[in-house]
A and B are shown apart, each in its own frame.
Chain A
Amino acid sequence: MKDTESEGYQSARKKKSLLAKVYNFFSGYLLAVILLTSLLALTYFGTMAQVEMGLYEASEKYFESFFLVEKVGFIHVLLPGVYLVSALLFLNLSLGAIVRARKSWRRPGMLIAHSGILYILLAGFVAFHYTKEGNMLLYEPNGSDKMHQSDEIYNLINWSVEVTKYNSDGERELIHVIGPEQLSGSWNERDSRNYRNKDIPFQIKVSGYLRNIANGKGQLAGLLSEKKAKDKGVRVLEGYGVEAVPTNKNMEFNLPAAYIDIYVKVKSNEYASEAASSALIIGAGPMSPRPFTFSVNDEQWSVDLTRQRYTLPFAIELENFQKEDHPGTMRAREYSSDVIKIDTGRKVHISMNKPMRDAGYTLYQASWGPEGARPGDRLYTSLAVSHNPADQWPKYGTYVIAIGMTIHFVQKLFSYLKRNNRSRRREEDSQ
């Protein structure tokens, strides 16, 4: 009996020690050093890779991933991504610097400073998952249209398929959105996906989705004439087919394309076996929507491949766009926009490094266009719009760290002065 008890105690101790070992590892300095070194290496690799891969793909590979494969010489090495390293660092700091650390009112500085670092890591997590960003285009006012006003932003990288219903006057009623996450994943040549909604009287089959058919100059290099498409065994619709073109480093230059087939709903959850309409759709700009249109049950619908859009809780109007060129050239030296928040009439001058902040959104002066515009052409301003719930958190985190470090160093200074005084007194006493 005694032996059994003893064995049980031993095994419990073993288990406890294993847990303790795991806890010690995750809260220890060794892991912290490994993680910080990894972050340093990944930042270097990620920054250098931007030259070859472009900003977006390099960020995705190095900074937004759990794991990545890096080729070092001839060997492929599996490395943790910055996302995983940051998550582990958050765990390591929480356990090591907050839970495990000796807490005393006499030494609050380090605790506060580490809390600040945790806050910044949390800000990164929130920003990564919850930031909405895009661009807003506003044309110079010309008195005849509303292209100088907008409450929409569009994403430069992500695309979506928009299915729009029109009323009898030809006005848009509601837009159903097949978002980028529903178009993501690998698409092989023969792949297709069916998209449905109970309020839509048809099913949309998207097939042959290509991430890019344009070259860097905006030409549709992947667009094939009927003859060429047939020679290559590519599907032809309305006299054209498409083939993939390597994606551009600058992801905003990519234009996707896809074939769509419309299958009309026959009964609840039952669709016709033959397509009522079919079309080839190509990614289009936000300012000149030209969707594929068709009728189902005497209702007019359209399908368009567009950059992902968000609607802002407020609208902006461009009052004036100023651009100053370098003398004798058409290269812009500086440009800025005078805008009005329509609902409140608030006027703001947006220029480089002077964004407009309102309702949690930040609007920066990003660029202007159209590219290659000639004197007298109507210009537009492009404002980069970002909604990041953690926008100001890194600043607050930095303040917290600074306060913690100040407390810590002031305490260190005082204890040093105290020790110094004591030893001086001792020396004086001994003399």
Chain B
Amino acid sequence: MFLRYFNLAMVFTLFGLISCDRSEEYVEIKDTREPSRFSPDPELGLSFKDRVGIQQTSNNPSESSKVSFFVKMVGPKSLIDGEKSRFDAFCKTLKVGKGNPPFEWAKPDEWDDVEGTKMRIANFSFGPDKKGECYFTVLPGGGELLSNLNRWRGQMGLPNATRADADALPSRQFLFGEGKYVEIEGSFKGFGVSEGKDGYKMIGIIMPELQIELPK
């Protein structure tokens, strides 16, 4: 008797499952929240590329990409003035070579190697209290000349420069092209440091947004 009812129930269940319209199944959205008064306003009406911030897809490596190169030396003014010739010599030895990252250079004997970071390909310190530092960085993208110049000026506590100021910077042969030479003095405020160091000088070369072929 039980088996008969059980079989009957199974048949009805099967029919029920077959006749179910799965497209009508849905999940109720129950939760809501008020927008935060502090969260940034969303950018609306963007295309997929703009929403995701695509400049090139990671799966299309043959496309070219922009890369910026920087070499910078900073420290107390008297120290930097004394090391200028070594800075020039170091810049002249910098070239594309083998290895990863693919750069080669000759370090001035008086400078000490400091462990590189993700961005600082070459990294040195010098001077009696190691107050001087010089480093070479390569950045994907990296921004235009004016924004980089103003970033550097900001570090020295100087007001922003104009586009005309940036265009007027002297050119200097650097790596495989020409970069813009920067020489500024001020109160140097390092990364994450709240107090500036007076009497500092910064010299460097900016080679912004160079179009290069990415490796396949």
Contact = CB atoms under 8 A, between A and B. Distances in A.
A133 interface: no
Contacts of A327: 125, 130
Given A149-B38, A238-B48, A291-B44, A322 B58 contact: no
B32 A176 contact: yes
Nearest to A217: B58
Contact of A203 (B26, B30, B58, B192): B26
Contacts of B40: 145-147, 287-289
B115 interface: yes
A203 to B, nearest CB: 7
A149 B193 CA distance: 21
Interface residues of A, number: 78
B201 to A, nearest CB: 15
Contact of A228 (B39, B48, B59): B59
A174 interface: yes
A262 to B, nearest CB: 13
A33 interface: no
Contact of A329 (B35, B49, B53, B117): B117
Contact of B36 (A150, A219, A322, A379): A150
Interface string A281-308: 0101011111111000000101010000
Contact of B42 (A173, A179, A291): A291
A277 B118 CA distance: 42
B215 to A, nearest CB: 14
Contacts, number: 180
A195 B26 contact: yes
A315 B38 CA distance: 9
B120 A290 contact: no
A374 B119 contact: yes
Contact of A151 (B29, B36, B117): B36
B194 A320 contact: yes
B125 A197 contact: no
A179 B59 contact: no
Contact of B118 (A145, A291, A372): A372
A372 B138 CA distance: 12
12 contacts: A150-B36, A163-B29, A172-B35, A195-B27, A220-B57, A220-B58, A223-B54, A291-B42, A322-B194, A325-B190, A328-B130, A373-B191
